């Protein structure tokens, strides 16, 4: 009795394995005598791929409508051409060539394998869309400068070193790219989070330092300060450092850091700075009190990609899937929260060229889905406003917009 039960269990398990990792026979029918892909043929091929489970094979037979009584020679010749067309179609939608083969035994057929999907951050950083700001400072003196968006950098004497560990002599040229708003994040194809973490950002920078043609870094046991314009709620922000991988930045928190609110007099900070002149005001009967401005103060121990972020704790999480209609190239896809400075990257599905998903996003949050791709002097753009959790997936069809139209569009919903 026990042996019979074990045998039944083995048979059931074998059936399960076969059904999830077996070969499924499918069929694609072409119009009579045709070898080119029609809308009808593409729909059949797409349905087979979309319905095929991951880590499964499909054996796809190719036939023509009403060709049952044709000669075997003609059927084989047509099947050869049709199979190659189907193979090219699957490669065109993102299948790797080693996962799609033509079997020429007998009447040619297509063997398709759908691997387990891998997800990676869509798009690649584009600094050419962000204004570069450059400052010349003295390496042997305490120096300050203020960025376009009002963030203040403070460097102590001898903070920088060359590759050999020696402090540079003479002037230092510092250039930075400042991501201070959602529009900058989108145009620069940057995000405030990653695969498994949603981050809310106060500000992000990419910083380079040079002495002549020699690239500089921050020396050991050295740091610099940044006064960052404080959000309305400035709690729990930390310093993050970024590493570029596959064209995107991966953020890692400096667990020792903590941003705290600092009040300072801007005039006092600059009064001894030789790089800036503080405008003198006309004397009045009563001297004006210095204006104290709230900032977040952080220390950073390296340049490159740095930001001021905090983790957004998502208690009720959901996943939003995005399909960009008719896309044959990877788009930059971002989910932009309406009321928070959060930009979640769309994760590209390795099995498709047009499917993405946004992970661990909070139910009930209002956001904008944006997908765009540089095309000539303009962009292919698709966008929509969504309330997360109420829909599981969304289809968007991109339209061409000039750069001016794209900027106007972003300004219209990212205010």
Which 3 state secondary structure label does DSSP give 84?
helix
pTM of the entire predicted model: 0.78
Distance CA 411, CA 231 (A): 20
Which domains, ranges and CATH numbers included, belong to the chain?
21-116 (3.30.110), 127-276+289-311 (2.60.220), 315-413 (2.60.40.1120)
Among the listed residues 378, 269, 399, 381, the one whose alpha carbon sits nearest the alpha carbon of residue 331? 381
- Cα distances (angstroms) measured from residue 275 to each of 138, 143, 211, 297: 9, 8, 17, 22
Token pair for residue 309?
Answer: 């972020």
**What b/e string do you get for 352-361 counting C-beta neighbours within 10 Å, with b at 16 or more?**
bbbbbbbbeb
pLDDT at 93: 81
Tokens linked to 269: 């900070």
Q: What is the pLDDT of residue 111?
A: 95
Question: Which pLDDT does position 71 carry in this prediction?
Answer: 94
Q: Is residue 192 within 8 Å of residue 204, measured between CB atoms?
A: yes
Mean pLDDT in each 10-residue stretch from start to end of the chain (415 residues)? 49 43 87 93 92 92 94 95 94 88 94 91 90 92 90 92 90 93 90 78 94 93 91 89 89 87 67 48 50 83 93 90 91 93 92 91 94 93 94 95 93 78
Closest CA to 408 of 381, 385, 386: 381
Name the E strands within 140-194. 143-146, 152-155, 160-161, 171-179
């Amino acid at each position: 009795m026990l042996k019979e039960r074990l045998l039944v269990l083995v048979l059931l398990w074998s059936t399960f394995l076969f059904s999830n990792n077996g070969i499924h026979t499918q069929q694609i029918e072409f119009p009579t005598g045709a070898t080119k892909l029609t809308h009808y043929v593409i729909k059949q091929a797409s349905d087979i791929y979309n319905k095929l489970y991951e880590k499964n094979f499909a054996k796809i037979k190719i036939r023509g409508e009403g060709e049952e009584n044709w000669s075997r020679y003609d059927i084989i010749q047509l099947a050869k051409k049709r199979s190659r067309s189907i193979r090219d179609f699957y490669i065109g939608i993102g299948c790797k060539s080693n996962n799609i083969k033509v079997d020429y035994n007998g009447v040619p057929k297509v063997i398709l394998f759908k691997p387990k999907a891998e997800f990676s951050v869509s798009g690649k950083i584009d600094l050419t869309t962000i204004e570069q700001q450059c400052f010349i400072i003295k390496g042997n003196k305490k120096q300050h400068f203020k960025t376009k968006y009002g963030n203040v950098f403070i460097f102590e004497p001898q903070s920088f070193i060359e590759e050999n560990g020696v402090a540079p002599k003479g002037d230092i040229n510092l250039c930075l790219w400042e991501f201070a708003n959602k529009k900058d994040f989108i145009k620069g194809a940057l995000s405030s989070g990653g695969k498994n973490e949603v981050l809310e950002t106060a500000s992000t920078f990419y910083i380079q330092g040079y002495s002549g043609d020699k690239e500089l870094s921050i020396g050991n046991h050295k740091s610099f300060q940044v006064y960052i314009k404080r959000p309305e709620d400035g709690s729990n922000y930390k310093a993050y450092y970024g590493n570029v991988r596959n064209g995107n930045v991966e953020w890692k928190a400096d667990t020792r850091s903590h941003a705290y609110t600092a009040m300072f007099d801007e005039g006092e900070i600059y009064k001894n700075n030789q790089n800036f002149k503080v405008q003198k005001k006309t004397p009045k009967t009563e001297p004006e009190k210095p204006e104290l401005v709230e900032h977040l103060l952080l220390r950073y121990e390296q340049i490159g990609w740095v930001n001021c972020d905090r983790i957004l704790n998502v208690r009720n999480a959901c996943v939003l899937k995005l399909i960009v209609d008719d896309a044959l190239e990877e788009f930059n896809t971002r989910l932009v929260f309406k009321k928070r400075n959060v930009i979640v990257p769309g994760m590209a599905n390795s099995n498709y060229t047009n499917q993405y998903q946004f992970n661990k996003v909070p139910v009930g949050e209002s956001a904008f889905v944006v997908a765009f791709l540089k095309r000539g002097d303009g962009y292919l753009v698709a966008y929509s406003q969504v309330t997360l959790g109420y829909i599981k997936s969304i289809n968007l069809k991109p339209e061409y917009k000039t750069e001016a139209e794209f900027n106007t569009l972003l300004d219209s919903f990212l205010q």
